[in-house]
Amino acid sequence: MSVDFFWRRVPGRALDELSPKELGALVPHWFDAEFKRLRETTMVMGVERNGYLMHFALTAGEAASGRVAQLPVFGGEQRAEGKEDPEYGWVGTELWVLRPSDVREASDFLNHVTVDDLIRGLDALLAREVESLGFSTPWSPEWAEELAVDLSELRSFFTAAAAAGDAMVKFESA
């Protein structure tokens, strides 16, 4: 299973001014010319293979609670389902938006998560989740480190967006 996740910071007013198609066009894919520059300026974040595991870690067990925990990965308001890009041969499954208040709420939640302790505490559950999702590579200490880096980057990304009063567009591509 391979689903990539992309988040793009946008001014809050963009959510009301732009159509779903225009919002989707703002979220770059790995191969877009702008991606590297946007990532370096912390305006976009992309995650390969770990998106579902990030969601699982944030919502599993007693570490997380309900709606707030889901905001970083799956929350917000759904604006579109499905998008095809014949040039790259990928299909996006969903486009979500998070208003500035949602971004602040997610940032507050993520800033109270101790990533290393969370992953260490869920190690056996994450190993089972990796197996159940059909990954060909088994869960390992190296993968745990990658997941910790992705979660830490997600926290920093949301913190910067919340501090700037930004909204967020999230896109999944399969």
Q: If you write DSSP's letter for every residue of 142-154 in order, what string do you get?
A: HHHHHHHHHHHHH
Whether 4 has a pLDDT exceeding 60, the answer reads yes
Backbone angles phi, psi at 136, to 5 degrees: -80, -20
Q: Which residue has the higher pLDDT, 49 or 141?
A: 141
At position 101, the amino acid (one-letter code) is S
Tokens of 153: 């980057």
Query: What is d(CA 168, CA 98) in angstroms, rounded to the nearest whole number?
Result: 5
pLDDT in tens, 69-119: 666 777 788 777 665 555 433 345 677 889 999 999 899 989 988 999 989
* Separation between Cα atoms, residue 57 and residue 63, nearest integer Å: 8
Q: Mean pLDDT highest for which of 23-37, 43-57, 69-83, 128-142?
A: 128-142
More confident residue, 169 or 87: 169
| Residue 99 pLDDT | 93
pLDDT value at 1 more than 80: no
4-173 fold: Hypothetical protein yfbM fold (3.40.1760)
Tokens 């969903």 belong to 94
Residue 50 CA to residue 96 CA, distance in Å, equals 18
Confidence of residue 170 (pLDDT cuts 50, 70, 90): confident
